[in-house]
């Protein structure tokens, strides 16, 4: 009897990472898995993840064709490169093939561009994510499985070693304050508007800055040039693993759709969330409202889950950022204690067995 065949598809790196963890369990159980990545140039799941595994994971860069005949299609949801997510879902529906979507972060399966299609079931990271799905996609079967990649995070002893190693490589001394600043990639204009505001807000602060731009950002090199031209004390940490960099940092300031920000909180690194600018005009002349975008993906009252229980860590303007950063620097023990309390909201993401739960849900459709 032929082995079951699972198609694993995706566009964004984050979604594919979570799917891959579940697929490893399936392969160990004797299930055949084939990988597919969008041909959208924004889709980095292949070049920046699958191709960098050891051994390299083979994949095809395409959407469905008539000769495809998987038993089930598993898709990692994407916040940006979702053309393949839609195409594979429609293909599964037309062939009566079950389609499972796996979310890697709150609201990634509820992006406006994907609402035209519905999977058979959505696998989500926790109860908050499940409630967001129910709000935007009422009636869709939703199952909480956890977050596989969080099950392999460094322990506390390893984190100490990582912090020392990264800071030593970057030349950051023990007494220096390392601030990591991370930008989103969609819409691209958002980071372009944010950068000068943040550089100006940091004037007069005795900090070492590590700026990180989204790998998909079309102007990331130009943005880095702006950073180098500033008078800030900066280090080039663009190629470092972001989890490791956040562990090495004394504070983190990132946009609201950043998965690694939650990891930073779990390591008690004070983490501020970018909520500005609230409104700006894109290159196409459209007015972009950040609140509307957050509300559209199901965040209650437009509040991202990362600050839902502690809204004071949401920076609505550069002044908020400056004030909060100064407090973190002047009262580090209090900031770390408050961050440890915030981490309690995300403990469910650390529950072991998420990859096995994803594999189990897939298996339920195969046998």
Dist. CA 213–CA 216, nearest whole Å: 8
pLDDT tens, 140-191? 999 999 999 998 899 999 999 999 999 999 999 999 999 999 998 878 889 9
Phi, psi of 165 (to 5 degrees): -65, -50
CATH code at position 327 = 3.40.50.12580
Residues 122, 164: one domain? Answer: no
CATH code at position 12 = 3.40.50.2000
Question: What pLDDT, on the 0 to 100 scale, is given for residue 113?
Answer: 87
More confident: 314 or 218: 314
Range of 162's domain? 155-348
Residues 22, 118: one domain? Answer: yes
Residues 33, 168: one domain? Answer: no
Question: What pLDDT, on the 0 to 100 scale, is given for residue 288?
Answer: 86
Dist. CA 213–CA 136, nearest whole Å: 29
Residues 177, 130: one domain? Answer: no
Q: Cβ neighbours of residue 277 under 8 Å, at least 6 residues apart?
A: 190, 193, 194, 197, 290
Residues 229, 178: one domain? Answer: yes
Question: What pLDDT, on the 0 to 100 scale, is given for residue 1?
Answer: 55
CA 91 vs CA 68, 79, 117, 119, 317: distances in Å: 9, 20, 11, 11, 44
Question: What pLDDT, on the 0 to 100 scale, is given for residue 280?
Answer: 84
Residues 343, 361: one domain? Answer: no
Region 330-340: what's the mean pLDDT? 96
CA angle, residues 112, 115, 116, in degrees to nearest 5: 130
Region 215-227: what's the mean pLDDT? 92
**Element of type H or E holding 191:** helix 188-201
Beta carbons within 10 angstroms of residue 85's beta carbon: 30
What order of strands is seen across the sheet that includes strand 99-102?
59-61, 32-37, 5-10, 72-76, 99-102, 121-124, 142-144
Residues 129, 167: one domain? Answer: no
Dist. CA 148–CA 350, nearest whole Å: 8
pLDDT tens, 15-32? 999 999 999 999 999 999
CA 98 vs CA 4, 34, 74, 121, 140: distances in Å: 13, 16, 9, 8, 13
Residues 322, 207: one domain? Answer: yes
In this model, does residue 264 exceed pLDDT 80? yes
Dist. CA 286–CA 361, nearest whole Å: 42
Among 135, 40, 21, 139, smallest CA distance to 82 is for 40
Residues 24, 115: one domain? Answer: yes
Residues 80, 61: one domain? Answer: yes
**Do 228 and 211 contact (CB within 8 A), yes or no?**
no
Residues 67, 19: one domain? Answer: yes
Residues 105, 212: one domain? Answer: no
Number of structural domains the chain divides into: 2
Counting residues of the chain whose pLDDT is more than 90, the rounded percentage is 86
């Amino acid at each position: 009897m032929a082995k079951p065949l699972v198609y694993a598809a995706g566009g964004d790196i984050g979604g594919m990472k979570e799917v891959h963890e579940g697929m490893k369990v399936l392969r160990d159980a004797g299930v055949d898995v084939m990988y597919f990545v969008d041909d959208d140039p924004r889709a980095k799941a292949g070049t920046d993840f699958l191709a960098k595994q050891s051994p390299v994971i083979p994949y095809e860069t395409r959407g469905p064709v008539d000769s495809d005949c998987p038993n089930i299609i598993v898709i990692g949801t994407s916040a940006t490169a979702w053309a393949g997510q839609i195409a594979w879902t429609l293909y599964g529906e037309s062939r009566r093939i079950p389609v499972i979507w796996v979310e890697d972060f709150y609201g990634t399966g509820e992006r406006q561009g994907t609402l035209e299609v519905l999977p058979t079931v959505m696998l989500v990271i926790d109860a908050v994510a499940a409630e967001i799905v129910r709000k935007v996609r009422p009636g869709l079967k939703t199952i909480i499985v956890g977050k596989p990649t969080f099950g392999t995070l460094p322990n506390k002893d390893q984190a100490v070693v990582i912090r020392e190693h990264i800071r030593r490589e970057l030349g950051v001394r023990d007494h220096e304050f390392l601030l990591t600043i991370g930008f989103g990639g969609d819409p691209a204009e958002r980071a372009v508007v944010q950068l000068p505001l943040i550089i100006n807000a940091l004037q007069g602060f005795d900090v070492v800055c590590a700026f990180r731009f989204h790998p998909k950002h079309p102007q990331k090199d130009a943005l880095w040039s702006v950073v180098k031209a500033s008078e800030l004390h900066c280090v080039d940490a663009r190629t470092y693993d972001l989890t490791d960099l956040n562990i090495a940092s004394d504070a983190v300031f990132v946009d609201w759709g950043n998965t690694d920000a939650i990891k930073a909180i779990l390591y008690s690194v004070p983490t501020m969330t970018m909520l500005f600018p609230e409104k700006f005009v894109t290159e196409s002349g459209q007015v972009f409202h950040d609140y509307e975008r957050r509300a559209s993906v199901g965040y209650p009252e437009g509040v991202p889950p990362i600050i839902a229980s502690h809204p004071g860590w949401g920076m609505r303007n550069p002044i908020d950022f400056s004030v909060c950063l100064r407090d973190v620097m002047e009262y580090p023990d209090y900031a770390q204690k408050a961050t440890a309390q915030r981490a309690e909201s995300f403990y469910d993401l650390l529950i072991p067995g998420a990859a096995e739960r994803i594999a189990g849900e897939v298996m339920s459709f195969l046998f």
